[in-house]
Amino acid sequence: MNHRELIIEELKKWKFDSILDVGCGTGQDLEMIRKTFPEVRIAGMDKDRDRIIKATKTLGNIQLVVGDTADLPFEDKSFDVVFTDALFVMIQDTGKVIRIMREMERVAKKYLLFLETHCVGDLTPEKYGTTMKNAQSYNIRNYEVLLSRFKPEFIKITKEVWPGIPWEFYGYLFKVTL
């Protein structure tokens, strides 16, 4: 099982009619979601126009939007599920991550799902050796703090699901019921 299959398996546990992928890139998650949940209204958003163009060629008539992930162009409560797959690891500014989370919450009706890097405490060289510098470049945050008001379910990403730095050490899937 890879990380996208893990997302699909966790989505199967929820009842939903619509889903938004924030930071969808070229739509790899959306393609799997469309195959698994053909009756669900699917949308994706990314700031990179070229990625959205590529996703449109692959996915066809799925709603795809170019825009700022910290200012989602959707109505309040317009999707049952809103999720990210490794979006926040690319963002250095924790304030922007918080703004994106608030926007995701605003447009979500039922659920939030985040596949991101998480660490409690310091990144220690004793535990991670020479890989620590590489790991620090992945904007690892403490999601127990960032998501504390939601009481999320934490699912650890294993080496079998996503081997290598940072995922096998810091990767988690966070499931939030609103």
In the sheet that holds 63-66, the strands lie side by side as: 63-66, 41-46, 18-22, 79-85, 108-117, 171-177, 153-156
The Cα–Cα gap between 100 and 88 comes to 9
> According to the model, what pLDDT value does residue 55 have?
96
Q: For residue 28, what is the domain's CATH number? A: 3.40.50.150
> According to the model, what pLDDT value does residue 121 have?
63
Residue 138 contacts residue 167 (beta carbons within 8 Å):
no
> According to the model, what pLDDT value does residue 130 have?
47
Residues of the chain with pLDDT below 70 are 121-137
The torsion of the CA quartet 7, 11, 12, 13, rounded to 10 degrees, works out to: 120
> According to the model, what pLDDT value does residue 133 have?
53
Number of domains in the chain: 1
Range of the domain at 26: 3-177
Lookup result for tokens 């200012």: 71
Q: Long-range contact list for 128-134, CB < 8 A, 24+ apart? A: 128/165, 128/169, 131/165, 131/169, 134/165, 134/166
Single pTM value for the model: 0.92
